[in-house]
Amino acid sequence: MDRRDNLRLDGRVAIVSGAGTHGGQGVGNGAATAILMAREGARLVLVDAVSEWMDATKAAIGADGGQATSVVADVTNADDCERAVKTAVETYGALHLLHNNVGGGSVRGSVVEATEEDWQRSTSINVMSMIHMSRYSVPHMKSAGGGSITNVSSVTALRPKAGASSAPYTVNKAAVVGLTQAMALDHAPDNIRVNCIMPGLMWTPRVASGAGAMREMRQTSTPLPTEGEGWDIAWAAVFLASDEARFVTGVVLPVDGGFLLTSAPN
* Residues 106-126: tens digit of each pLDDT: 678 899 999 999 999 999 999
**Which residues are known to be catalytic?**
169
Q: Per CATH, which fold does 3-257 belong to?
A: Rossmann fold (3.40.50)
pTM: 0.92
Instruction: Give the pLDDT confidence score for residue 9 in this predicted structure.
Output: 98
| 190-222 pLDDT tens trace | 999 999 999 998 877 666 555 566 667 667 778
CA–CA separation, 6 vs 9, rounded Å?
9
Q: How far apart are CA 126 and CA 151, in angstroms?
A: 10
DSSP for 180-232, written as a single string? HHHHHHHHGGGTEEEEEEEE-SEE-TTTGGGTTHHHHHHHTSSSSSS-EEHHH
Q: What pLDDT shows up at residue 163?
A: 58
Q: Burial, 136: exposed, middle or buried (Cβ in 10 Å; 0-12, 13-18, 19+)?
A: buried
